């Protein structure tokens, strides 16, 4: 379910200048069924309205609108022409690049030329990529950056060609294009071209730009000679930028490098580097039957010289390598911090030992933290998967009892466990009546996620006794639950679900009121107070107005207060906003994706997590570095310059409060 907007003219200036602007925004949010309503705005005398209508097409991505957008490639306004190109690129209809190439023959405005190349990269085929490279000799010298940008867009869609790789490699010494060239080569991942240009990339390891160094190091991960390995080892030890060290250690993951070097990197002063080194050690020793460095790692685990986040990862590594023998070194799950307790419980799961079950069971039954209980369910499940039928039954019994906690996050994890095919249908059917009773007590939207997952269980088990719960799902106003229930009904009965009269959601879904829309004018950003310090974000209201408004409303409800950062990927993102704490939770509705050609994922971009177009809810992330492969796939709704605080955030750090300004 999501917030829908009452289609009314709001008599105030909110994030746009006219009432028509607001109409266009609302039509965009109503998606494909409103494409026809937007077409009339393409003929507006106001160029801003034409531009907004094209932006709406770019977000809706209705393939029937390509020709309409193409007509505006020759508009008198450069901004409109640029947005028309973006719309065609985002719509992505096969053949759309033909319109862009045709306009490229006559376009001379730099902004528009850049937009045309970018759009070709967003929607073109491999033949279109080849065409750009073949024609590049005839392009103006100043167009080289646009060509490389197109190559990047192609590469991010996994559309590659050796001619493009060679063209890009030739620009490594071109100071104006080195940055994009190194990124493009890293994304293209062409072993032959990278090996042929090894010396050029090795030179870039001394570049003044940390981004050039880290992307060059990542590309050199495909080179496996002694000179390259030694240069990477030296860079991993000595570079001043932690992001470069992280990328370089990852590049060494497949190399013949001494384990003692990797162990030294675990002692790095930067937690991200240490965590990356721990993961790299795990990968390098994955096939080794003996954990020959066990004494050293146990010593690290017991030393205060390593930060809490590092010890958590070392604890899980020791558990994974030693199995049952690691149990004495994991320690009690009990801690003042739920995040620490959860990590220790997960370490017990990594042992895959039945002897760890008592400690996990105690955490599940005694902890008041849903974060710990969820970790316990998932860890217990990991052990039960490899155990005998008796252990499997015991686990499913515990998972069944967890529904009584009436916690959506815990119920979700328990429901997901019952979809695990390592447990036979016969065993799962033992607890089916309890699952049905639990489902019948649930109500949307608060229990939306577990209700959907339980319908998936009913479909998987396909037992007729679940029909009462399935029929309740068929009558739900929420489309996601109904869809899952329809699949369950068919799986059980063998026929399509009957068409039910469903109570209309119109008038019941929470509309954005006029008063709520005013908030877009009232607030320009937010201070996120975390356990590591304050992160100030500035909103991108013109690019993502409804995403911003969703964040404002959740912040006002204190939805985020106390939630943890459940995901941290070094030199990529930190992510929070999940009430479940495991990446599965949300606000029980979804909002629309919002993209804009001028708003991209640079360092400090604040984006919305999603599982696909128009599935965003409450989870958001902040980037450690530029991440162009996320551009136009995820919503950017703000930026922060507080990178020092962002870089200190680790899994388990929490959001204390959010203050809007």
The residue-averaged pLDDT of 187-191 equals 94
Can you name the residues that pair with 4 across neighbouring β-strands?
511
Kindly state the DSSP code that residue 654 receives in the 8-state scheme. Answer: B
CB count within 10 Å of CB 234 equals 12
pLDDT tens readout for residues 281-310 = 999 999 898 999 999 999 999 998 999 899
Same domain, 501 and 559: no
**Residue 79, SS3?**
helix
Q: Which long-range contacts link 610-614 to residues 24+ away (Cβ below 8 Å)?
A: 610/634, 610/635, 613/61, 614/31, 614/590
Query: Percent of the chain beyond pLDDT 70?
Result: 95
Please tell me the predicted confidence (pLDDT) of residue 9: 37
Average pLDDT of the chain to the nearest whole number: 93
659 touches 535 (CB < 8 A):
no
Residue 283 resides in a domain: no
**Confidence check: pLDDT of 16 > 70:** no
What's the count of helices (H) and strands (E) in the chain, helices before strands?
34, 8
Longest Cα–Cα distance in the chain: 75
Tokens 């909110």 locate to 14
Residue 188 resides in a domain: yes
30 touches 7 (CB < 8 A):
yes
Same domain, 81 and 200: yes
42 touches 72 (CB < 8 A):
yes
Residue 287 resides in a domain: no
Q: Which residues neighbour 149 within 8 Å (Cβ) at sequence distance 6 or greater?
A: 114, 117, 118, 121, 180
Same domain, 614 and 547: yes
Cα–Cα–Cα angle for 399, 405, 406, nearest 5°? 110
Residue of 285, 208, 278 whose CA lies nearest to 244: 208
What is the C-alpha separation between 53 and 65, in angstroms, rounded?
11
Same domain, 493 and 521: no
pLDDT tens readout for residues 577-627 = 999 999 999 998 999 999 999 999 999 999 999 999 999 999 999 999 999
What is the C-alpha separation between 484 and 438, in angstroms, rounded?
17
506 touches 495 (CB < 8 A):
no
The residue-averaged pLDDT of 141-167 equals 96
Same domain, 608 and 480: no
**Confidence check: pLDDT of 12 > 60:** no
Query: How is residue 384 written in tokens?
Result: 């039960």
CB count within 10 Å of CB 355 equals 12
CATH number at 636 reads 2.40.100.10
Same domain, 496 and 550: no
Domain limits for position 91: 19-223
Same domain, 88 and 197: yes
Please tell me the predicted confidence (pLDDT) of residue 503: 55
Residue of 465, 464, 505, 510 whose CA lies nearest to 481: 505
Residue 366 resides in a domain: no
274 touches 306 (CB < 8 A):
yes
Residue 48: pLDDT band (50, 70, 90) is very high
What is the C-alpha separation between 122 and 100, in angstroms, rounded?
11
Same domain, 571 and 504: no
Q: How many domains does the chain have?
A: 3
Pick from 509, 542, 562: which residue ends a domain? 509
Residue 607 resides in a domain: yes
* Helix 448-461 with 408-417: angle, nearest 10 deg: 20
Residue 157: pLDDT band (50, 70, 90) is very high
**Confidence check: pLDDT of 35 > 90:** no
620 touches 609 (CB < 8 A):
yes
What is the C-alpha separation between 440 and 284, in angstroms, rounded?
49
Residue 501: pLDDT band (50, 70, 90) is low
């Amino acid at each position: 379910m999501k917030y829908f907007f009452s289609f009314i003219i709001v008599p105030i200036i909110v994030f746009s200048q006219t009432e028509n602007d607001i109409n266009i925004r609302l039509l965009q949010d109503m998606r494909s069924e409103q494409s026809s309503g937007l077409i009339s705005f393409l003929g507006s005398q106001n160029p801003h309205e034409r531009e907004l209508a094209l932006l709406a097409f770019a977000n809706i991505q209705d393939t029937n609108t390509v020709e309409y957008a193409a007509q505006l490639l020759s508009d008198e306004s450069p901004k409109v022409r640029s947005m028309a190109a973006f719309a065609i690129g985002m719509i992505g209809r096969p053949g759309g690049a033909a319109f862009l190439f045709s306009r490229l023959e006559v376009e001379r405005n730099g902004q528009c030329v850049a937009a045309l190349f970018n759009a070709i990269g967003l929607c073109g085929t491999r033949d279109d990529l080849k065409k750009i490279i073949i024609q590049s000799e005839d392009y103006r010298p100043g167009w080289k950056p646009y060509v490389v940008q197109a190559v990047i867009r192609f590469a991010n869609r996994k559309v590659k060609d050796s001619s493009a790789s060679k063209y890009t490699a030739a620009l490594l010494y071109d100071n104006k294009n080195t940055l994009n060239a190194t990124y493009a080569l890293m994304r293209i991942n062409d072993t032959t071209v990278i090996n042929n240009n090894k010396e050029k990339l090795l030179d870039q390891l001394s570049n003044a730009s940390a981004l050039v160094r880290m992307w060059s190091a990542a590309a050199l991960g495909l080179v496996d000679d002694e000179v390259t390995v030694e240069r990477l080892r030296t860079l991993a030890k000595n570079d001043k930028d932690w992001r470069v060290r992280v990328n370089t250690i990852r590049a060494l993951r497949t190399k013949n490098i001494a384990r003692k070097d990797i162990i030294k990197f675990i002692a790095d002063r930067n937690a991200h580097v240490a965590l990356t080194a721990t993961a790299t050690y795990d990968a390098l020793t994955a096939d080794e039957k003996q954990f020959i460095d066990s004494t050293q790692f146990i010593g690290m685990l017991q030393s205060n010289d390593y930060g809490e986040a590092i010890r958590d990862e070392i604890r899980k590594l020791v558990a994974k390598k030693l199995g049952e023998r690691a149990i004495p070194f994991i320690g009690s799950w009990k801690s003042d911090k739920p995040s620490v307790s959860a990590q220790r419980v997960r370490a017990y799961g990594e042992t895959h030992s039945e002897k760890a079950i008592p400690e996990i069971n105690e955490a599940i039954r005694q902890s008041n933290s849903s974060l710990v209980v969820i970790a316990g369910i998932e860890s217990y499940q990991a052990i039960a998967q490899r155990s005998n039928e008796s252990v499997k039954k015991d686990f499913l019994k515990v998972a069944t009892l967890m529904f009584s906690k009436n916690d959506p996050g815990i119920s979700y994890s328990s429901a997901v466990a019952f979809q695990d095919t390592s447990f036979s249908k016969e065993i799962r059917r033992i607890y089916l009546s309890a699952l049905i009773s639990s489902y019948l007590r649930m109500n949307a939207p608060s229990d939306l996620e577990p209700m959907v997952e339980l319908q998936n269980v009913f479909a998987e088990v396909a037992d007729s006794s679940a029909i009462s719960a399935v029929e309740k799902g068929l009558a739900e106003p929420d489309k996601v639950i109904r869809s899952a229930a329809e699949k369950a009904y068919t799986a059980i009965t063998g026929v399509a679900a009957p068409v039910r009269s469903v109570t209309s959601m119109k008038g019941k879904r929470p509309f954005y009121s006029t008063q709520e829309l005013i908030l877009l004018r009232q607030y320009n950003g937010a201070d996120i107070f975390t356990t590591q310090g304050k992160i100030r974000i500035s909103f991108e209201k013109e690019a993502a107005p409804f995403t911003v408004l969703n964040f404002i409303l959740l912040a006002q409800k204190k939805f985020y207060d106390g939630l943890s950062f459940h995901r941290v990927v070094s030199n990529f993102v930190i992510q929070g906003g999940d009430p479940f704490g495991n990446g599965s939770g949300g606000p029980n509705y979804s909002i629309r994706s919002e993209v804009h050609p001028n708003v991209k994922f640079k360092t400090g971009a604040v984006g919305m997590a999603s599982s696909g177009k128009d599935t965003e809810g409450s989870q958001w992330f902040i980037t450690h570095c530029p991440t162009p492969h996320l551009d136009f796939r995820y919503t950017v709704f703000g930026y922060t310059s507080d990178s020092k605080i962002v870089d200190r955030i680790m899994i388990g750090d929490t959001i204390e409060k959010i203050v809007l300004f």
